[in-house]
Amino acid sequence: MTCVDMIFWYVMAAVAVVLLVAAVTIVVGRRNAVPPAPVTPELAPAEEPTGTPAEPVEAPADAGAALETPEPPASRLTRLRRRLSASNNPFARGLLGLLSADRLDAEAWEDLEATLITSDLGVGPTDELITGLRRELAVDGASDPDRARKVLRTELLTLVGTEADRSLRVTGADGLPGVVLVVGVNGTGKTTTIGKLARVLVAEGHSVVLAAADTFRAAAADQLQTWGSRVGVPVVRGPEGGDPASVAFDAVERGIAEGVDVVVVDTAGRLHTKTGLMDELGKIKRVIERKAPVTEVLLVIDATTGQNGLAQARVFAEVVDVTGIVLSKLDGSAKGGIVVPVQRELGVPVKLIGLGEGPDDLAPFEAEGFVDALLAES
Amino acid sequence: MFDTLSDRLSAAFRNLRGKTRLTDADIDATAREIRLALLEADVNLNVVKEFIGNVRERAKGAEIHAALNPAQQIVKIVDEELVSILGGEARPLRFAKRPPTVIMLAGLQGSGKTTLAGKLGKWLKDQGHSPLLVAADLQRPNAVTQLQVVGDRAGVHVYAPEPGNGVGDPVAVARNSILQAMSKLYDVVIVDTAGRLGVDAELMRQAADIRDAVSPTEILFVVDAMIGQDAVNTAQAFADGVGFDGVVLSKLDGDARGGAALSIARVTGKPIMFASNGEGLGDFDAFHPDRMASRILGMGDILTLIEQAEKTFDAEQSAKAAQKLIAGKGEFGLDDFLQQMQAVRRMGPLSKILGMMPGMGQMKDQINNIDEREIDRIEAIIYSMTPAERTNPKILDGSRRARIAAGSGTKVSDVNSLVNRFFEARKMMQSLAGGMPGMPGVRRPAAKQQAKKKKGNHKVSGNPAKRSGGPAAAPEPTAAPASAFGQMPSEADLAKAVGDFQLPPELQQLFNPKNTGPR
């Protein structure tokens, strides 16, 4: 029996159940003598063939006069350290407090587990970390806090991973521009991240074009335009509600024609469960690749996200082959522990971290720096 | 994929039969399972501990119900506890005695405040109010423009005297908006504030200033359903910083379990008032504690399934298809099947839809292995047929089948099996549709259900789990108590009908052929 058969039964069952549900609704509805529930047919935007050409919009000509000079990225990590340690990080403190106790009893281990879970690390990685710590510390006791800290640091580093390549691939081959596609669910900070990223790229001396392929959310293109004009980067935009793939295509085409170094494509936020929208995303990538290969796909994950982050990453990785993660909003009280299971399962490294709404609050992710910042005493 | 709580508990109780009373040891054994299930759903750890304490208290010495096995009983207790916390003090939106009523929205960045402002505006307008949206988010680039566009779409006026992008004083905007509302006779003012972090003392003070300037009737805390363990800190920070009267859970249309809702309700004691579940302006609903409880526990959520079906389905089309099926006579053709299948797919990945059906937990592995591309292949086969062939697949002879196989890039055997299966399935569905008018209440004799469904009085051992190595069948997720639907009387019947709903045996049989057939 072929696989098709098996699938067929599932589909049939789903159809049948849904038909039954429809019948129940109808029967019950009739019994109640109320009109049937209004039906709002939902159109998957991907199916709207709106091939309206995107109109490139120039950055205001006078933008050059008011251009801001972005802070060099190198000095940012220092700030990250300061900020992470200043944000009353109970994660780091809790761990150190626990580990410097003379003896680790069952209760202490439980608290330690609790602390890790509270940082959204997930149950799996937490167990792994605890087991690792226990094994290491069993060898020569845990009386020495320094030793405990060293072990903890090593274990955390193993979890976060140091081998991964965390550099952004922003240069294309054969004179083509590097194309960076930024994706994520709604409200994680994609547009803001792109705004900051554009500044970083400009500061590093790259020429940049932004593509406002978020044609769905109200005023998303304007938001990107504002970011772009601050650093004199042109934004290619299309009509609201237009085909995002065509905007992305136009931007890349323009990038090639003008010989710019990097094209950064902003996409509309979409929940990973919306099949139609995920198809649309796949289409955006496919359409871009007709002009130039996409060199980097960044998935933006909000640091406050819980275990659902893993489900998000899984689906996005499947649809557009995510190559890097941006952990945004790390300046709050959330620890962003969710990136650990994400990185572990998908092998996609965290490349950038967002630290606030300021224009320069974007820093490269550095496993050692990150872990050190977590462990730094306030 | 993590199993649902009921699966876990069933496993923990496998060796626990014939007892009449839950002992402390039994309860301890389940505590860890409940803890894990809740933590996976992002419920805050402290809340989990307290919650388990409560469950333990209630479960201690509880008589084992004749109709429920211990696992089911614990699940029932957990479910009831969840509903009681989540639905603690449901209440409708308050309106000021002397208009304007002022509603202030606060929350983290990206939680969905601006979108919610539009939805709330439209909702109030549809109820005959005249709302005014106030753009007090002057922080994020073009938040003001976004609110204006949203207001436009909702057909609600927007008060936006400042351009935003860091220019202007939100407190002054908020204050003036009240005067504007009074002079222009708007009776509800919705103040959209900038997103801010709980740890940002400065912005928190600004929010408090806005609050003092407008003295809102309701302050709503908007929070993303996907938020993790930090929900409690954030909610507490907002409760301390600005204070809020109600919670709005946004982005519930995703697949986050939304355990944060429980944490927030528990820690702040504020009711969750609305659920926002989509990007359309109409995707906005009152909060249903019982559904949230099933969702947190990862149980089937047939009510949400129905709602989604209502939203994405062409009701008339589905009704017509259902009628054709009931009528028999082979009227239900492949074209109807295709239509319905596509409608099902619009609701999301098949695995997710199947997962929402009660009693599917035991087949989780198979469900997760579904390759959506196989469905594309089925579609391709049907698309390669002429309209006449689709309405009446009986006319498919050898040469037609060969043509279809060539056209869809499949083999003749694939076409054959699809067509044969379709006939078989149609027969089954028709036979079960025979009992359709009374369907909601229909209960087939238990004997027929043995393979899949366990009725209350069934022992686990009576379940010869046909599936090789199949675990003890999951207890049927107890449908939410109908009483929880008190606020929606028109739905009460539906809820009740669905409460009785089980996959009819014929349908359950649908899942069997692949086991009995040669694979």
Question: B451 CB contacts (<8 Å, ≥6 apart)?
Answer: B464, B466, B508, B509, B512
Looking at chain A from residue 36 to 65, which residues have their Cβ under 8 Å from any Cβ of chain B? 36-37, 39-42, 44
Say if B460 is an interface residue toward chain A (CB within 8 Å): no
A139, pLDDT greater than 80: no
Q: Which residue from A minimizes the CA distance to B237?
A: A333
Distance CA B288, CA B492 (A): 13
Under the banding of pLDDT at 50, 70 and 90, the label for residue A239 is confident
**A377 assigned to some structural domain:** no
A184, pLDDT greater than 90: yes
DSSP annotation of A67: -
- Looking at the structure, do residues A142 and A290 belong to the same domain, yes or no? no
**Per-residue model confidence (pLDDT) at position A69:** 58
Contact B429 A19 (CB under 8 A): yes
A242, pLDDT greater than 90: no
For testing contact with chain B, the best of A47, A271, A342 (most B CBs within 10 A): A271
Which residues partner with B519 through β-bridges?
A: none
A28 vs B100, more confident: B100
Looking at chain B from residue 321 to 340, which residues have their Cβ under 8 Å from any Cβ of chain A? 321-322, 325-326, 337, 340
Q: What is the DSSP string of A89-108?
A: -HHHHHHHHHHTSS---HHH
- For the segment B383-401, the average pLDDT, to the nearest whole number, is 88
**Per-residue model confidence (pLDDT) at position A7:** 61
The pLDDT tens digits for B48-58 are 888 888 888 88
**A212 assigned to some structural domain:** yes
Instruction: Specify which of A91-105, B320-334, B427-441 reaches the highest per-range mean pLDDT.
Output: B320-334
The CA distances from residue A241 to A249, A322, B279, B392, B511, in Å, are 16, 25, 13, 40, 42
Instruction: Collect all residues of chain B within an 8 Å Cβ-Cβ radius of residue A240.
Output: 149
Instruction: Collect all residues of chain B within an 8 Å Cβ-Cβ radius of residue A190.
Output: none
- Looking at the structure, do residues A68 and A93 belong to the same domain, yes or no? no
- For the segment B277-306, the average pLDDT, to the nearest whole number, is 73
- For the segment B239-250, the average pLDDT, to the nearest whole number, is 90
- Looking at the structure, do residues A342 and A238 belong to the same domain, yes or no? yes
Question: A205 CB contacts (<8 Å, ≥6 apart)?
Answer: none
**Per-residue model confidence (pLDDT) at position B103:** 93
- For the segment B223-242, the average pLDDT, to the nearest whole number, is 89
- For the segment A202-219, the average pLDDT, to the nearest whole number, is 88
Distance CA B244, CA B436 (A): 48
Q: What percent of chain B lies above the pLDDT cut of 90?
A: 15
- Looking at the structure, do residues A92 and A22 belong to the same domain, yes or no? no
Distance CA B298, CA B226 (A): 14
CATH number of B5-86: 1.20.120.140
Under the banding of pLDDT at 50, 70 and 90, the label for residue B324 is confident
| 3-state class (DSSP) for residue A85 | helix
Q: Which range among B66-75, B105-114, B173-182 shows the weakest confidence by mean pLDDT?
A: B66-75
Looking at chain A from residue 156 to 185, which residues have their Cβ under 8 Å from any Cβ of chain B? 185
Selection from B12, B228, B4, B9 nearest residue A122 by Cα: B228
B307, pLDDT greater than 70: no
- Looking at the structure, do residues A290 and A178 belong to the same domain, yes or no? yes
The alpha carbon of residue B213 is apart from the nearest alpha carbon of chain A, in Å, by: 25
Distance CA B358, CA B75 (A): 14
- Looking at the structure, do residues A241 and A276 belong to the same domain, yes or no? yes
Which of A160, A176, A195 represents a domain boundary (last residue)? A160
Which residues partner with A21 through β-bridges?
A: none
The CA distances from residue A136 to A126, A141, A197, B206, B363, in Å, are 15, 9, 40, 49, 40
Distance CA A146, CA A165 (A): 30
B256 vs A221, more confident: A221
Which of A160, A176, A210 represents a domain boundary (last residue)? A160
* Total domains in the fold of chain A: 3
**Per-residue model confidence (pLDDT) at position B7:** 63
Distance CA A206, CA B157 (A): 43
Q: Which range among A87-101, A277-291, B322-336, B504-518 shows the weakest confidence by mean pLDDT?
A: B504-518
Q: Estimate to the nearest angstrom the gap between the alpha carbon of A310 and the chain centroid.
A: 11
Contact B497 A305 (CB under 8 A): no
| Cβ pairs bridging A and B (under 8 Å) | 314
Own/partner long-range contacts of B8-14 (Cβ < 8 Å, ≥24 apart) = B8/B33, B8/B36, B8/B37, B9/B33, B9/B34, B9/B71, B9/B74, B9/B75, B10/B71, B10/B460, B10/B471, B10/B472, B10/B473, B10/B474, B10/B475, B11/B471, B11/B472, B12/B71, B13/B69, B13/B70, B13/B71, B14/B460, B14/B472
- Looking at the structure, do residues A134 and A102 belong to the same domain, yes or no? yes
- Assigned token pair, B10: 């069933």
CATH number of B101-286: 3.40.50.300
**A23 assigned to some structural domain:** yes
The pLDDT tens digits for A304-319 are 888 888 889 999 999 9
The alpha carbon of residue A107 is apart from the nearest alpha carbon of chain B, in Å, by: 14
A243 vs B491, more confident: A243
Task: Write out the H or E segment, with its range, that includes residue A145.
Answer: helix A145-160
- Looking at the structure, do residues A99 and A29 belong to the same domain, yes or no? no
Which residues partner with B103 through β-bridges?
A: B190, B218
Say if A4 is an interface residue toward chain B (CB within 8 Å): yes
- Assigned token pair, A276: 């139609």
**A375 assigned to some structural domain:** no
B140 vs A83, more confident: B140
- Assigned token pair, B127: 């109820």
The boundaries of the domain holding residue A119 are 80-160
- Assigned token pair, B86: 């989540």
The pLDDT tens digits for A104-129 are 666 667 777 777 787 788 888 888 88
Which residues partner with B167 through β-bridges?
A: B164
B123, pLDDT greater than 80: yes
Q: What is the DSSP string of B47-107?
A: HHHHHHHHHHHHHTTPBPPTTS-HHHHHHHHHHHHHHHHHTTT--PPP--SSSPEEEEEEE
Contact A2 B414 (CB under 8 A): yes
Contact B251 A271 (CB under 8 A): yes
A301, pLDDT greater than 80: yes
Contact B312 A216 (CB under 8 A): no
Distance CA B504, CA A21 (A): 12
The CA distances from residue B220 to B137, B186, B198, B242, B405, in Å, are 15, 20, 15, 10, 58
- pTM for this prediction: 0.70
A165, pLDDT greater than 50: yes
Instruction: Collect all residues of chain B within an 8 Å Cβ-Cβ radius of residue A114.
Output: 45
- DSSP strand pairing (B272-276 vs B284-286): antiparallel
Q: What is the DSSP string of A211-233?
A: EEE--SSTTHHHHHHHHHHHHT-
Distance CA A353, CA A333 (A): 15
Say if A126 is an interface residue toward chain B (CB within 8 Å): no
- For the segment B61-90, the average pLDDT, to the nearest whole number, is 72
**What are the backbone angles phi and psi of residue B152, rounded to the nearest 5°?**
-55, -50
Q: What number of CA atoms fall less than 13 Å from residue B156's CA on the CB side? A: 36
The pLDDT tens digits for B477-504 are 333 333 333 333 334 444 444 444 444 4
Say if A33 is an interface residue toward chain B (CB within 8 Å): no
**Per-residue model confidence (pLDDT) at position A32:** 44
**A345 assigned to some structural domain:** yes
**What does the buried/exposed string (b/e) look like for B143-178 if buried means 16 or more CB atoms within 10 Å of the residue's CB?**
bbbbbbbbbeebebbbbbebebbeebebbebbbbbb
**Per-residue model confidence (pLDDT) at position A62:** 38
The alpha carbon of residue B434 is apart from the nearest alpha carbon of chain A, in Å, by: 12
Under the banding of pLDDT at 50, 70 and 90, the label for residue B8 is low
Under the banding of pLDDT at 50, 70 and 90, the label for residue B2 is very low
The alpha carbon of residue A96 is apart from the nearest alpha carbon of chain B, in Å, by: 20
A369 vs A242, more confident: A242
Looking at chain B from residue 368 to 407, which residues have their Cβ under 8 Å from any Cβ of chain A? 370-371, 374-375, 377-378
Q: Which range among A99-103, A362-366, B175-179 shows the weakest confidence by mean pLDDT?
A: A99-103
- Assigned token pair, B101: 């009523």
Count helices and strands in chain A by DSSP H and E runs: 13, 9
**A42 assigned to some structural domain:** no
A100, pLDDT greater than 70: no
Q: Which residue from B minimizes the CA distance to A4?
A: B374
Instruction: Specify which of B323-332, B361-370, B442-451 reaches the highest per-range mean pLDDT.
Output: B323-332
The CA distances from residue B230 to A77, A184, A374, B238, in Å, are 24, 20, 16, 12
The pLDDT tens digits for B416-457 are 888 888 888 887 777 766 554 444 333 333 333 333 333 333
Under the banding of pLDDT at 50, 70 and 90, the label for residue B90 is low
Would you put residue B291 in left (φ > 0), alpha (ψ -120 to 50) or beta? alpha
**A372 assigned to some structural domain:** no
A248 vs B453, more confident: A248
**Per-residue model confidence (pLDDT) at position B310:** 66
Which residues partner with A236 through β-bridges?
A: A56, A211
Instruction: Collect all residues of chain A within an 8 Å Cβ-Cβ radius of residue B228.
Output: 120, 304-307, 309, 334, 337-338
A246, pLDDT greater than 90: yes
Under the banding of pLDDT at 50, 70 and 90, the label for residue A44 is very low
Contact B375 A7 (CB under 8 A): yes
Superfamily of domain B304-437: Signal recognition particle, SRP54 subunit, M-domain (1.10.260.30)
**Per-residue model confidence (pLDDT) at position B501:** 42
User: For residues B6 and B361, is the Cβ–Cβ distance under 8 A?
Assistant: yes
Which of A122, A141, A160 represents a domain boundary (last residue)? A160
- Looking at the structure, do residues A15 and A128 belong to the same domain, yes or no? no
- Looking at the structure, do residues A114 and A262 belong to the same domain, yes or no? no
- Assigned token pair, B258: 């939304």
A340, pLDDT greater than 70: yes
Tell me the average pLDDT of chain B: 74
**A281 assigned to some structural domain:** yes
Distance CA B391, CA B371 (A): 27
Contact B507 A16 (CB under 8 A): yes
Say if A309 is an interface residue toward chain B (CB within 8 Å): yes
Using CB atoms, pick whichever of A28, A195, A357 lies closest to residue B494. Answer: A28
The alpha carbon of residue A38 is apart from the nearest alpha carbon of chain B, in Å, by: 8
Q: Which residue from A minimizes the CA distance to B349?
A: A275
Under the banding of pLDDT at 50, 70 and 90, the label for residue B316 is confident
A145 vs A87, more confident: A145
The alpha carbon of residue A174 is apart from the nearest alpha carbon of chain B, in Å, by: 35
What are the boundaries of each domain within chain B?
A: 5-86, 101-286, 304-437
Q: What is the DSSP string of B350-413?
A: HHHHHHHSTT-GGGHHHHHT--HHHHHHHHHHHHTS-HHHHH-GGG--HHHHHHHHHHHT--HH
- For the segment A233-247, the average pLDDT, to the nearest whole number, is 90
CA Rg value for chain B: 27
User: For residues B82 and B297, is the Cβ–Cβ distance under 8 A?
Assistant: yes
Question: A231 CB contacts (<8 Å, ≥6 apart)?
Answer: A67, A68, A70, A198, A199, A202
Say if A66 is an interface residue toward chain B (CB within 8 Å): no
A217, pLDDT greater than 50: yes
**Per-residue model confidence (pLDDT) at position B131:** 93
Amino acid symbol at B224: D
- Burial of residue B227, with CB atoms counted within 10 A of its CB: 0-12 exposed, 13-18 middle, 19 or more buried: buried
- Looking at the structure, do residues A195 and A306 belong to the same domain, yes or no? yes
Distance between start and end Cα atoms, chain B = 25
**Per-residue model confidence (pLDDT) at position B12:** 62
Using CB atoms, pick whichever of A28, A34, A123 lies closest to residue B40. Answer: A123
Q: Which range among A27-31, B32-36, B302-306 shows the weakest confidence by mean pLDDT?
A: A27-31
Under the banding of pLDDT at 50, 70 and 90, the label for residue A133 is confident
Say if A118 is an interface residue toward chain B (CB within 8 Å): yes
Contact A273 B370 (CB under 8 A): no
DSSP annotation of B464: -
Using CB atoms, pick whichever of A1, A5, A273 lies closest to residue B348. Answer: A273
- For the segment B380-393, the average pLDDT, to the nearest whole number, is 88
Q: Which residue from A minimizes the CA distance to B324?
A: A19
Distance CA A378, CA A360 (A): 24
**What are the backbone angles phi and psi of residue B332, rounded to the nearest 5°?**
-75, 105
**Per-residue model confidence (pLDDT) at position A1:** 43
The alpha carbon of residue A28 is apart from the nearest alpha carbon of chain B, in Å, by: 6
**Per-residue model confidence (pLDDT) at position A76:** 59
Q: What number of CA atoms fall less than 13 Å from residue B480's CA on the CB side? A: 29
B453 vs A374, more confident: A374
Distance CA A161, CA B57 (A): 43
Tell me the average pLDDT of chain A: 75
B200, pLDDT greater than 80: yes
Task: Write out the H or E segment, with its range, that includes residue A266.
Answer: strand A262-267
- Looking at the structure, do residues A61 and A127 belong to the same domain, yes or no? no
Torsion of CA B208, B209, B214, B218, to 10 degrees: -10
Contact B319 A22 (CB under 8 A): yes
Under the banding of pLDDT at 50, 70 and 90, the label for residue A257 is very high
